[in-house]
Structure formats: structure tokens, C-alpha cells
Structure 1
């Protein structure tokens, strides 16, 4: 009885200390900044101590830093998700506690250099090395991560499991946290467990695939970055869902997945029209293509993050409208406060700029213009959202996505034997035809969004917001938009003018116009829009 009482006093004392550490001092934005700083410092310190080339803070090593930093973000988020699941504590408390504990990632390089005297080590372990390392807590693999990694992992696992025990008073739950966290972090740290990356990255320092040129692992760095970025997105949604039920669905509702798909499609159109990237869809196993696949992926995610920023900013300032017409969106539903949403939007903008910098100065310029437009579209005092010309911003934004795709650089390896050189090559120039297609996209997609504005008619009328429907009245506005819809479809005849083209554009245009005029269908118009775009792509590349 006395032992039990003593143990409880110790646990209460520990709980008091933990309570001070987990206090919600850091918000979503400052957590992002803190983890970024720690990850950058770990990468740079490691490079300096072990004389890696990227100790020189040069643009040519941006992919080295990008994929390593986002690996640490993925590891941090995985820790938060697992700790939240087993501790049942509030998400932001777990995130704050984990953020302070994450500072331990600065320790291993110093231990390996000055205590264990490791000469060099690498991170992209093979599947066989993963198995050996997992069964020995990496003690048998001092050359993969160094013995400092053992100290780092064991410290994190012991502290996190102790935290779970303090919160749950359960040894089995604490042990479950230990082994689940250990397993998942090591899985994240072994990208070759991903079958796609394993296909492009055989277990050797330099990739040799029968029938293909020898390819250095450096060509894969943009793909590794995207791999960790996708993991971060998934983990962030899971963390939100664990914190508040329905978070993931409402967040995806907020970012408007059809518009996300639209932005990606604009990038793909730009890439196809430029014809600059050498990607053979029939031979994706060729590792020499990974550089260009990575560049295409960076362009797509750049547009996605720019759009998510714009959508969240719009919902922050449209909250009164959304409480009437879009109550299932994440801010209007109350699952995120306006301040939290703003922090997420800023993070999306920062990631957008990061992605653009990795691509080219042209991508950076286009991204900054798009982010500025997304801001003045919604934010007072300018707030173009309240003008009748607001949809032109969507058309111009679509054209920007197209030009980002068009200007996507190739990423190639020069040389078949070390030392290798990796070079980004931009398209030589934008052709008049390429510019014309961009202008056409801007015009056509300034008309399309007028359709979705109809659902906001009642709330905009109450709030005195000017739109084509509030200015001319609902019925007349629907008629005007129906005519513009038909014109937008048949205007594609500027590019394609065969008999089949005329039939398809006229039929789809009349169908869209009729459905909107007669039944005021909004979402169904997108189901007509995407097939026509895909048809145009097929016509452009000669499949039809």
C-alpha cells in the first residue's frame, strides 16, 4: 500500500513537470518554424562535421536540404500522431511536448564525430539493412546513421513511452507506443520500402538498371522530397482527425478537390504543350526519368499549395457567407479557428515559395503573383471577391498554373561515372502558340466560375456583395452565364476545327448551357468540363 502511494506521488510529480513542458506555448505556425530550424540545423551541422559538399550553403544543394528537412518533418509528425493516439492527450499539448523533445536530433552528429568517431554515414538504407537495423536498434549498422542514431532513437522512444505511461497509467499501452513509434519512424526513414522508389533506386550507391544508363542517386532527390512531402500531408490530416472527428473530410471539402484537380490539369496541359520534359509513360521504370518526374511533381504541388492558401484565405474572409451556404467547411463548422486557419494558410504559402525556388526564378515570379492575387481577391480593403469581375482572378490563376507547367525545367544528370553533375534546363522560349493557349485559358476559365457563384446568391444579396446575379437579378444572371458557357465551349474551335471537334464542342456546350439554364446545375458542369479538356489534350498530342 505504501509502495503504491509512493509510486502515485512520483507519477503526480512527473505529471506536474510534463504539464509545464506540454503547455501550448507554440501555435501551428511557430511549431512549423521551430521544426524547420531544428531540421535545417541538424542537416547543416552534420554536413560540416562530416565534410559533405552541402556544408556549403549554395543553391545547387537545395534538393539535399529539401528532402532531408522534410524527412525530419515526417518523423516529427509521425511521433505526434502516435503519441496523440496512445496518450489520448490534446493534440497541441502533444505537439508542443514533441517539439521541445525534437531538439534531440541535434545530438547524433556530435556523438558520432567526437564520441563514436564515425567517419561517414548515410540515410537511404536498403531493405535488408532496415531488417538488420530494426532487430538491433541499429547497433549492427553503425555505418547507416551512426551509433548516435541509436542514442537518438532510444531516447525518443523511452521519453515518449514514459509520457504515455504517465498519462494512461498502463504499461502495455506504453510498450505499444514504444514499438509502434519505433516501427513507423524506421519505415519512414527507409524510402526504398516504397515500391515505386525501390523501382527507381536499387540498393546500390549508383543505380544500374539493365538496358539503361548508369544513374546517380542525386537524380532522385526531388522524388525523395515529394515522397516525404506526401507523407507529411497524410500525417497532418490524420493528426487533425485524431484531434477532432470529421477534420480530414471538412478540410478536403474546404480546399475543393475538383479545383485542386483542375490546377494539376492546367500544369499537365502546360507540360504537354511545351513538350520540354522527357517523360516516357510507357517506360517509367527507367531511373533516368526520375529527375523530370520529380520536376513535374514539384510544379503540380506548387499549384496545389498555392490554391490551398487561396482557398483558406477566402474562407476566412467569407465566413459569414459560408455559415449560410457552406456550413460543412472547416472554418465555418468551427473545427478550426480563423487564427489557426490563417497559420495553416501562411505555411502553405511558405511551402509554395519553397517549391517555386526549387523549380526556377520564373516559377517563383509566377507563384508570388498568384499568392498576391489570392490575397487581394479575399482580403480587405481591396477584396476583388466583392466585384463583378472577381472570376477573372480564377481565370488568370488557371493561366498561371498552365505557365508554371509550361516552364517546368528538365532535371538531368551529366556524365555516366562520378563525379556527376545535375543540371536544370528551362524551355528555350514560350512560343506564340503557347502564349495564345494561356490567354485562351484565362478567358475561358474566367467564365466557368460564374456557374458556382450561383449557390452564394442569397447570402451575397443579403450582404450587398456585387455579382452578376445580384446586379442583374437571378434569372437574368443565369441566362447571361448560360450564353457565356456555350461561348466558352465553342471558343475551343480556335485551336481545333475538324468536323468531330465542332460536334463535340457544340454538343457539350449546348448541354452545359441547357442544364444550367433549365435546372441551375452547378457541380454537373464540371463533369462536362473535364472530358472536353481531356479530349483537347488527346487532340494536341495526336491520339485523336
Structure 2
């Protein structure tokens, strides 16, 4: 662990002076995605809460902190890695990122993504070997998603399936901080893989033309934005309605049904895309927090 820490800080020490240049720092900060950061942090924190409930042990605030922050850092490292490999296509498509604008050289960009990813693994080591292994698995999945030669983000539905697996790996990493991985509920595994694979494509609604230029297949590039909206809305409603059944907690329908219908309505509406995406993600996070609260109260599992 000490060796990893030294390695990460050596990387960071070389990177900090150039990154602190105002234009570069502002460009990097613009790549932060608060709602998506909350999403992945929620997976880690939710896993920890579920581990404490299933393992019948008190929730350790220190382990909760480390596993949550490590997930936040890991996600941002994955975002940087994805944007580095999209830099040339983003430049041609007119999408401005620090990498497509050349504010950071290729070598410095790789070093930034690597140091952030290593730092996330250093943090999660505080939670035990199992948590480390599953967060490492999430990093490997991100590599397969973003980088050559696999670059699975080009292939639908493999791309959304891998994102669902990455989310599951982060959740299991959190769970392992408080309980044996063998106790991880099968119902939660099914819920995460099935519903996230079905609904993760919603995020691609705002990038149809850019994705076409990149040669990336999504639900919307394959079906078109109009038909894609309706199919995506149907998948979202089905996912919300399946959740109480999979969790075997039918009272959850009081929230799942209206939130599913509201989300589907937002998808088919032709409004401001970024605002719509933010509202959809906010509803999803609130629903996740409700499930997390029920798990903490031992109503589920």
C-alpha cells in the first residue's frame, strides 16, 4: 500500500504544476459530473449499507467514507480515460474538452487518469482486499468500455451491459467492506444488471449526432431519436415496475409506478435535453435513496 501511495503521489507531483494553470484547471473542472458522481457514490454507499444490514453488523462510518470516496475518484478517473480516447473524434465533432483542445498533452493526460485511478485503489484498500478487487474489476471494465482494442462503447447493447457490470462491481466493493461477498443478495445482483442494462442508454439521448460521427452504436443512433425515445421510455417504465417484484417488496410500487411514468414522460417530451437528463437522473437517485433507506431499516433483505 505504501508503494502504491508513493507511486501515485509521484505522478501527482509531476502533474500538479501544469494542471494548476487557470485554463487547464477550469477545463478539468468542467469534466466533473456531479449527478453521475452521486450515482456511483450511491452504489458504493448503498453496498456498504446493505453489507451492514445483511451481515448484521453496525455501519462503520470510516469504511463508508473510504468506499464512497474511492468510488467517486474511480468514476472520475474513468471519465478522464474515456475523454482521452475520444479526444480526436471530439475535436472533429467540435466538442470541447481539455483533451480535444490540446490543453493537456497525451502523456500528461494518461498520467492524470492513471494517478486518479491508482489513488482510488489506495483509498479502497482501507476497506479490505475484497473491496479492492471489486473496485479494480470496475476499472478493468472501464478500460474495456473506453479503450482499444475492445472499445466496447461502440457496440449496443454490450456498452450498456458493461456499464451495468461496472456499477455492480462498485456496489459489491461497498458491500464487501462490511460483509462477505458470498452473502451478496442474488435479487440485488439481478436488479442491478437487468434494470441498468435496460435504462443506461438514456444518457445517450443528448449525443445522437456526435455518437453517429464517432461510429458509436446506441439505442438512439440505431432507431433514431424519435423512435428511440419511445423504446427507451418503455424500457424505463418496465425497469421501475420490475424493481418491487425483484426485491420482493410490493409496497415499493407506491413510488416505483409514478416515478417510472414521470421519467418516461420526460424522455418522450421534446424539451431542453440537458435539463431533462438532470431531472431524469435526479428522480433515479431519489428512488435509489428510498431503496437504500428501506435496506437500512431492514425492510428489504
Correspondence for 2:230: 479
Flag the structure with higher helix content.
2
Instruction: Compute the displacement of 1:325 (Å).
Output: 6.6
Q: 2:41 aligns with which of 264, 280, 290?
A: 264
Instruction: Compute the displacement of 1:318 (Å).
Output: 1.5
Shift of the 249–527 alpha-carbon distance from structure 1 to 2, 3 Å rule, reads farther
1:400 lines up with 2:169 in the alignment? yes
SS in 2 for 1:505: helix
Correspondence for 2:143: 375
Correspondence for 1:243: 21
> Larger Rg: 1 or 2?
1
Correspondence for 2:120: 352
Shift of the 242–255 alpha-carbon distance from structure 1 to 2, 3 Å rule, reads closer
Q: Distance in 2 between matches of 1:522 and 1:445?
A: 16
Shift of the 321–391 alpha-carbon distance from structure 1 to 2, 3 Å rule, reads farther
Instruction: Compute the displacement of 1:435 (Å).
Output: 3.0
Instruction: Compute the displacement of 1:450 (Å).
Output: 0.8
Correspondence for 2:50: 273
Instruction: Compute the displacement of 1:353 (Å).
Output: 3.3
Q: Deviations over 1:336-376 (max 9, x none)?
A: 23321111111123223333444333223213322211111
Correspondence for 2:199: 448
Q: Distance in 1 between matches of 2:83 and 2:29?
A: 13
1:399-438 equivalent positions in 2, closer than 5 A = 399-409=168-178, 427-428=179-180, 430-431=182-183, 434-438=185-189
1:542 lines up with 2:297 in the alignment? yes
Instruction: Compute the displacement of 1:440 (Å).
Output: 1.0
Q: Deviations over 1:162-218 (max 9, x none)?
A: xxxxxxxxxxxxxxxxxxxxxxxxxxxxxxxxxxxxxxxxxxxxxxxxxxxxxxxxx
Q: Distance in 1 between matches of 2:180 and 2:298?
A: 26
Q: Deviations over 1:367-388 (max 9, x none)?
A: 3322211111111221101001
Shift of the 332–538 alpha-carbon distance from structure 1 to 2, 3 Å rule, reads same
Q: Distance in 1 between matches of 2:48 and 2:132?
A: 17
Instruction: Compute the displacement of 1:543 (Å).
Output: 9.0
Q: Distance in 2 between matches of 1:429 and 1:241?
A: 39
Native 8 Å contact 2:74 2:139 kept in 1:
yes
Correspondence for 1:51: none
Q: Distance in 1 between matches of 2:76 and 2:171?
A: 17
Q: Deviations over 1:407-462 (max 9, x none)?
A: 004xxxxxxxxxxxxxxxxx245336x23213311222223331111222112223
Correspondence for 1:316: 84
Count of aligned residue pairs for this structure pair: 288
Q: 1:533 aligns with which of 265, 284, 288?
A: 288
Long gaps (5+) in structure 1: 1-61, 81-91, 96-235, 280-291, 410-426
Native 8 Å contact 1:319 1:331 kept in 2:
yes
Q: Distance in 2 between matches of 1:444 and 1:248?
A: 36
Aligned-residue Cα RMSD (Å) equals 3.0
Q: Distance in 1 between matches of 2:199 and 2:109?
A: 27
Native 8 Å contact 2:198 2:239 kept in 1:
yes
Q: Deviations over 1:217-243 (max 9, x none)?
A: xxxxxxxxxxxxxxxxxxx5xx56741
Correspondence for 2:262: 511
Shift of the 517–325 alpha-carbon distance from structure 1 to 2, 3 Å rule, reads farther
Query: TM-score of the superposition, structure 2-length normalised?
Result: 0.83
Q: Distance in 2 between matches of 1:244 and 1:449?
A: 34
Q: 1:523 aligns with which of 259, 278, 284?
A: 278
Q: Distance in 1 between matches of 2:292 and 2:94?
A: 35
SS in 2 for 1:448: helix
Instruction: Compute the displacement of 1:268 (Å).
Output: 1.3
Q: Distance in 1 between matches of 2:200 and 2:268?
A: 15
Instruction: Compute the displacement of 1:511 (Å).
Output: 0.7
